Amino acid sequence: MLPATSERQQKATVRPSRTSRTEHLLEMSRAALQVSLLLLAALGSAGAANDQEHGGEETPHSPEKGPGHSHWSYEELQHWGMDYPFCADTMQSPINIDTAKTIFSPQLRPIQLSGYSLPANERLKLRNNGHTVVLQLPESLALTGGYAQQYRAVQLHLHWGSPSGPGSEHTVNGHRFAAEIHVVHYNTKYSNFKEAMVHPDGLAVLGAFLEVGPRENPYYQEILEHLYKIEGEDKEVLVPGFNIAGLLPANLKHYFHYNGSLTTPPCYQTVKWTVFNQTMLLSPEQMSMLENSLRNDNGNPLQNNYRPAQDLHGRRVLASFQTTLMSTKQLPPGSESAVAGEGHSTSSFHAGDVLAVLFGVLFAITALAFLLYIYKHRSQNTRLDSPTKSKVIYTAASTENTA
Ligand SMILES: *[C@@H]1O[C@H](CO)[C@@H](O)[C@H](O)[C@H]1NC(C)=O
Ligand SMILES: *[C@@H]1O[C@H](CO)[C@@H](O)[C@H](O)[C@H]1NC(C)=O
């Protein structure tokens, strides 16, 4: 009916089918939601913006040194800064990730793991170092995507709580998860881990949260089943190789990224952190094995080996995906893993999508009513105008690259 249409749609070779129109509408709805939520966020957080960004008073740097012993413990967290000055500096880890304050950065590509699948005849050293359990990794494991430079794996270790409380290091919107895995890598432009760990771009650590789920996780079992052999500090055992990638989420696209530090002394501020949005699930028995198998140097149970969240001191936290303003912190832990499969929690994206569509439709109806109103108003004044010849063209505001 409109001859002009085909000319205007030069780029689209085929008229949009009904389904692709629906898809388009969904896209627009999502965009509309994002705009609305951004506005709401701007209004809502205007007052509270300052507290995390410019963390009030500075942590005083204590001038006098401590006893100088190189020993540290999680019972004496507040002393770390005396023996290891970096621990009191301003780019420390872990942090609380406030998802509403993260910056969406589309240029953050999916993390790519190479050489992570190890044959069973390759033996790996598993060690209780008195602070955690460490699995030494061969240098064949590498990060080949998601970071601008190449990084090689060195070791992985875990942080956990106790039967009476969770023990992840990072928290998300104030929520502490049951446990956390860290896979430590060093930049291949340095000759080894020791040299790399003192340079600002030296280390890359992948972090993922562990939660309790219904099934046994076969990958974590490859570590947990050996813990009883290394109960005491400095004990070690050789374990068969397995697919190390199975210890990390299947979804390597959705993560948070920030500049931080080692979470134990000497707290070097040389870590480019990746914290995955998808969580890993362990059975209740497995979580209990993690929490109850090891002892520290005092012979006490090795538990609660996590450092609390450190001040951001104005640092930015990037997100590789668009976080909605929906907060899951009010939900009971585990309820977001209701749709877990294969030991992977796919968490909160579904609820977000439904809301997006809902808001989008509301937005569309409002827009339509507005357009209708304008049209009626116009046709009352100028009856000659063809209804299809509206001169007002509304386009969705671009929401790209709000970062
Ligand atoms: C991390 O530090 C590097 C080097 O100073 C900087 O280029 C980069 O933007 C920082 N990343 C973030 C997320 O702030
Ligand atoms: C994942 O991202 C969603 C959306 O921002 C957020 O609600 C949820 O808490 C995040 N979970 C983790 C483990 O990062």
Least confident of 79-83, 123-127, 346-350: 346-350
What's the pLDDT tens digit per position in 68-87? 445 899 999 999 999 999 99
324 band by pLDDT with thresholds 50, 70 and 90 = confident
What's the pLDDT tens digit per position in 141-151? 999 999 989 99
Q: Is 280 or 41 the better-scoring residue by pLDDT?
A: 280
Q: Is residue 353 part of a domain?
A: no
Q: Which domain holds residue 293?
A: 47-346+396-400
Split into its structural domains, the chain has a count of 1
Residue with tokens 């460490």: 134
Residue with tokens 């696209």: 253
Q: Is residue 263 part of a domain?
A: yes
Q: Is residue 40 part of a domain?
A: no
Which CATH number does the domain housing residue 291 bear?
A: 3.10.200.10
**What pLDDT score does 275 carry?**
98
Q: Is residue 38 part of a domain?
A: no
State the CB neighbour count (10 A cutoff) for residue 125: 13
CA–centroid distance, residue 100 to ligand 2 (Å): 10
CA–centroid distance, residue 251 to ligand 2 (Å): 13
Segment 270-297 shows an average pLDDT of 98
Return the residue whose CA atom lies nearest to atom 11 of ligand 2.
277
**What pLDDT score does 157 carry?**
98
Q: Is ligand 1 within 6 A of the CB of residue 259?
A: yes
Least confident of 252-261, 314-323, 381-390: 381-390
Q: Is 37 or 111 the better-scoring residue by pLDDT?
A: 111
Segment 372-383 shows an average pLDDT of 62
Segment 120-134 shows an average pLDDT of 98
Q: Is residue 2 part of a domain?
A: no
Segment 253-274 shows an average pLDDT of 98
Identify whether the C-beta of residue 344 lies closer than 8 Å to the C-beta of residue 283.
Answer: no
Residue 49 predicted with pLDDT over 90: no
How far, in whole angstroms, is CA 399 from its chain's centroid? 22
Q: Is ligand 2 within 6 A of the CB of residue 92?
A: no
Identify whether the C-beta of residue 182 lies closer than 8 Å to the C-beta of residue 158.
Answer: yes
Q: Is 9 or 187 the better-scoring residue by pLDDT?
A: 187
Q: Is residue 23 part of a domain?
A: no
State the CB neighbour count (10 A cutoff) for residue 25: 14
